[in-house]
């Protein structure tokens, strides 16, 4: 039987400086057909590839010991050791029950609006790959969703997991003379030093 180590949520991962990442007023509606599969979300669809840790998908659990910067635990550990990290841009909590619609597991963080207000919203038609912008009133019965980062603290690391952790944590900025990211050292550097 082959097991695959969980990807590591490295301590150097920071929220990118891209202005589309986790801005508190960046409201989108992600809409798939049928029309009932639509949610108001903090941030646009591009955040799945430009704002989240490498290899992110809605069900991936990283090996880690804390939520990354700009995220906080959205709910207590439910006994399985997996922590759901929600953006700090709003007071999100965890969805108690994920939607059974096709994309329900994507939106693990939620908040209910406390007051009615008009918001400028970009609507992303996920089937037609087009966007439109509108102003909508969200009442106190409406919700805002966000994408989460999941992590679990390893109870015991295998040698392979330890190498992955060392490799990902040590791949950047070893060559401080020129200030550039220099990947020459990485895992090879650590293995050579261990001899």
Residue 182's pLDDT band (cuts 50, 70, 90): very low
54-104: pLDDT as tens digits? 888 888 888 888 888 889 999 877 778 889 999 999 999 998 777 666 677
Q: Is the pLDDT of residue 193 over 60?
A: no
Using DSSP bridges, classify how beta strands 27-32 and 117-125 pair: parallel, antiparallel or unpaired. parallel
101-116: pLDDT as tens digits? 667 788 899 999 888 8
pLDDT of amino acid 75:
86
pLDDT of amino acid 103:
76
Residue 2's pLDDT band (cuts 50, 70, 90): very low
5-45: pLDDT as tens digits? 566 776 556 656 666 688 888 999 989 876 678 889 999 88
129-150: pLDDT as tens digits? 899 999 988 888 889 999 999 9
Q: Give the predicted TM-score (pTM) of the model.
A: 0.71
Residue 13's Cβ-side half-sphere holds a number of Cα atoms within 13 Å equal to 22
C-beta atoms surrounding 182 within 10 Å: 15
Higher pLDDT, 193 or 77: 77
Give the lowest-confidence range in 5-19, 46-60, 112-126, 174-188: 174-188
Contact (Cβ atoms closer than 8 angstroms) between residue 16 and residue 51: yes
pLDDT of amino acid 89:
92
pLDDT of amino acid 105:
83
pLDDT of amino acid 175:
35
pLDDT of amino acid 86:
94
Domain boundaries in the chain? Answer: 27-153, 156-195
- Scored b (16 or more CB within 10 A) or e, 24-54 reads eebbbbbbbeeeebbbbbbbbbebeeebbbe
């Amino acid at each position: 039987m082959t097991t695959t180590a969980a990807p590591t949520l490295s301590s150097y991962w920071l929220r990118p400086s891209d202005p589309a990442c986790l801005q508190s007023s960046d409201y989108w509606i992600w809409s798939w057909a049928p029309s009932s599969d639509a949610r108001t979300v903090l941030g646009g669809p591009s955040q799945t590839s430009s704002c989240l840790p490498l290899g992110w998908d809605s069900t991936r659990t990283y090996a880690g010991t804390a939520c990354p910067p700009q995220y906080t635990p959205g709910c207590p550990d439910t006994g399985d050791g997996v922590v759901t990290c929600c953006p700090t841009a709003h007071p999100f909590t965890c969805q108690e029950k994920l939607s059974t619609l096709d994309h329900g597991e994507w939106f693990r963080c939620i908040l209910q609006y406390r007051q009615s207000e008009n918001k400028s919203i970009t609507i992303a038609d996920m089937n037609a790959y087009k966007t439109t912008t509108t102003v909508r009133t969200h009442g106190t019965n409406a919700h805002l969703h966000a994408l989460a980062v999941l992590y679990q603290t390893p109870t015991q690391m295998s040698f392979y997991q330890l190498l992955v952790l060392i490799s990902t944590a040590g791949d950047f900025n070893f060559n401080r003379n020129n200030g550039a990211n220099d990947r020459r050292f990485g895992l090879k550097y650590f293995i050579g030093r261990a001899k």
